[in-house]
Structure 1
Amino acid sequence: MTSPANEVDEIATDEATHHSTGPSTAVVSKSPTRIAMERFRKDKLSMTAFSIVVFFFVAAVLAPILVKTGVLDPFGTNQDLLNEFSLPSGKWGGMSSSHPLGLEPGVGRDALSRVWYGITFSLAMSISATIIAIVLGVVLGIVSGASGGWADTIIGRLIDLTLSFPQTLMLLALSSVLVTFISDKLHVPSGNPSQAVYVVAILGLFGWTGIARLVRGQVLSLREAEFVQAANLMGASRARIYFKEILPNLWAPILVSFTLIMPTFVSAEAALGYLGVSIGPPTPTLGTVLNDSLSYADTDPLYFFVPAVTIMVIVVSFNLLGDGLRDALDPKGNR
């Protein structure tokens, strides 16, 4: 016969068994990348900037296709739509259903086609220069931080020398000489192709110092990590330690640096276009279109503001995207 105390114990045991075998909430682990992306998606400003950046990239890719199919016409003139002062007839710079952003004063080319096609060349040169700067900065930063000693000293002095170089003056002074060298020695077609190679090379070769210093600082802490020490003890080569052990842990600052360097080069290309160093007419870039519009800033302000606002939106969007990625990947940092 069961005693009341034993009955109470049996009831308690049954209840405990029932609760232990009941439905349980599974704990789902999240990778650091997933956590960062969720944090990034919650930032509405960064998501808006990301959408604008994607829009400009899609527009840049579609522009050559639209030009070949005749949808865009950045080179055709419309002299019949200009008045006796070579200004677009009608209000707002000749805006119409055929020319939504008006016409270029003096020539009569479609402003929308010029700016849209110019985005393609500006982004292409900026991306190419950014890739060169990132590759140089990452490689030299890793070597400097991981090796130390004389290698660190030489790379540090090279950074100081590059930063002290009068970049703009040398761009203007050596433009004709280096463009001729690129055309003759590297067998790049003369004219705009060699000019574009010159601009990309100069921007990339002078823009790597910031990322190199950033990577060096990250590597100084990573080289003392246990996995790097273990690779050293196992006899791994320097190249494996640099690019197999250390480099995969640097993708976050590299990604952020890309989004921050890119708008700098967009602005630099626009400045070079204004100085007459970038691609020349009739091929448009945002810099050359802005340069052409300066002469008509008073008589046709719309043609001036369209490329200026386009450059501003691209630069601001990339900067906000870089800030958002930095906040998502490093929540302890401040915007």
Structure 2
Amino acid sequence: MSQPTQEEVILAEQAKKEAAPGPETEYQGLSQGQIVRKRFFGHSGALVGLAVFALIFIMAFTSVGFAGIPGWWKYNHVDVSPLVNDGVPSVSLWPLAWGEHPFGQDRIGRDLFAMTMRGAQQSIIIMVIIGAIAGLIGAVVGGLAGYFRGWVEAILMRLTDVIIIIPVLLLAAVVAQMANRRDAAGWFSAFAASNGVVVLGIFLGLVSWVGLARLVRGEFLTLREREFVDAARISGASNARIIFKHILPNAIGVLIVNVTLTMSAAILLETALSYLGVGVKSPDTSLGLLISQNQEAFATRPWLFWYPGLFIVAICLSINFIGDGLRDAFDPRQKKFRAKSAVETGRHSSETAPSSAAPGATSTGSAVSGSPADAGES
């Protein structure tokens, strides 16, 4: 029986690879929405982040109530009660117990669980406002500048450069001070006095889109030169259709990831402002304000730091994991690496390589080994 030639072995391996199920056959017959959902729910990190954020969101907005709707927790962030066990947290893992004050109490007897849930509400509200405003403005400005170029790009990018040099922390402090003035006249002061967090979120959103606009512009500059955009332009598609139907779906991964990073940075910025005393003011509270108010009690009551800090870290990490999963789900160029199939392919290649290379290796080896001998004899 004759041995198969090397060309026959290579053709057989290519046929097996084409017959094996790949990303194209896996998503064959599915709509774009079904493909996005399948990719997202196949991302373990995104599912963990979604579960953690959903738990925090439900706890924060149902426990102490929101917008006049009462919650299921018996205390709120301003109620003062007698100290129980000197304010030590009553939660216990073994034996499992929740207790009267699971996160403990501060020095005057306020329930830390209620204050932490109220602070998480403020952080989530600011995060959503900043993410929506910055994402919308950044996508519009960056997309228009990257697609149309010319004078449109020059005007929008110079506007971006001007906003970049604005000291955001200083202006945010000024806006926060205006929002907390109770004696000022005017519609802005009246609105800001009762909606300080909303005003702060809107302002930070209006100055936080510049980095996103630059990234979207760069992505549009690359995609506008691709073949599918040229084909759509030749077929008579309008600029709006090319932008929203062809370019934006391919740039959605960059947009989503940077929006989630902006939202995480918004939480940290609000925390820093509240820690410096120019963010949320008493009698309201936030996660950063809780840390600032209890910084002197770090050595004696460390739980006043750990719980607000833990919620800040949990919210930021969960948002980043969700954004990473959405990027992988929306990116049409993203291919999932399959470790099991890669190992099986490598094992199959190592098994077929010796048999296919045996004839060539023998003749080559004899030729190579014969060359020095001939040279020595001559």
> How high is the TM-score relative to the length of structure 1?
0.76
Return closer, same or farther for 1:135/1:333 CA change in 2, 3 Å cut-off.
farther
Partner of 2:119 in structure 1? 118
Q: In 2, Cα distance between the equivalents of 1:47 and 1:242?
A: 31
Deviation string, structure 1 residues 240-270 (Cα, Å, up to 9, x no partner): 5544554454433333333222111111111
Q: Which residues of 2 match residues 281-320 of structure 1 at below 5 A?
A: 281-320=282-321
Shift of 1:179: 6.8
Deviation string, structure 1 residues 51-74 (Cα, Å, up to 9, x no partner): 112222223332454871452422
Amino acid in structure 1 at the alignment position of 2:297: Y
Partner of 1:53 in structure 2? 53
* Unaligned 5+ runs, structure 2: 1-20, 92-97, 338-378
Q: Contact 2:61 / 2:121 at 8 angstroms: preserved in 1?
A: yes
SS at match of 1:189: helix
Deviation string, structure 1 residues 286-331 (Cα, Å, up to 9, x no partner): 2222222223212211111110111011112222332333345353
Partner of 1:146 in structure 2? 147
Q: Which residues of 2 match residues 161-240 of structure 1 at below 5 A?
A: 161-173=162-174, 175-176=176-177, 184-186=186-188, 188-193=190-195, 195-225=196-226, 228-229=229-230, 238-239=239-240
RMSD: 3.4
Partner of 1:77 in structure 2? 79
Return closer, same or farther for 1:192/1:48 CA change in 2, 3 Å cut-off.
same
Q: In 2, Cα distance between the equivalents of 1:57 and 1:75?
A: 17
Q: In 2, Cα distance between the equivalents of 1:33 and 1:305?
A: 40
The count of aligned residue pairs is 301
SS at match of 1:117: helix
Q: Contact 1:141 / 1:211 at 8 angstroms: preserved in 2?
A: yes
Return closer, same or farther for 1:333/1:70 CA change in 2, 3 Å cut-off.
closer
Return closer, same or farther for 1:190/1:152 CA change in 2, 3 Å cut-off.
closer
Deviation string, structure 1 residues 192-219 (Cα, Å, up to 9, x no partner): 41x2233112321221112212221222
Partner of 1:321 in structure 2? 322
Partner of 1:331 in structure 2? 334
Shift of 1:112: 0.6
Q: In 1, Cα distance between the equivalents of 2:151 and 2:191?
A: 41
Which is higher, the Rg of structure 1 or of structure 2? 2
Q: In 2, Cα distance between the equivalents of 1:61 and 1:235?
A: 50
SS at match of 1:264: helix
Shift of 1:40: 4.0
Q: Which piece of structure 1 moves more, 42-51 or 238-247?
A: 238-247
Shift of 1:44: 2.8
Q: Which piece of structure 1 moves more, 242-251 or 301-310?
A: 242-251
Deviation string, structure 1 residues 218-251 (Cα, Å, up to 9, x no partner): 2223334566556656776655554455445443
Q: In 2, Cα distance between the equivalents of 1:59 and 1:217?
A: 40
Q: Contact 2:172 / 2:204 at 8 angstroms: preserved in 1?
A: no
Q: Contact 2:176 / 2:200 at 8 angstroms: preserved in 1?
A: no
SS at match of 1:191: helix
Amino acid in structure 2 at the alignment position of 1:196: V
Q: Contact 1:192 / 1:280 at 8 angstroms: preserved in 2?
A: no
SS at match of 1:216: helix
Q: In 2, Cα distance between the equivalents of 1:255 and 1:78?
A: 42
Amino acid in structure 1 at the alignment position of 2:193: G
> How high is the TM-score relative to the length of structure 2?
0.68
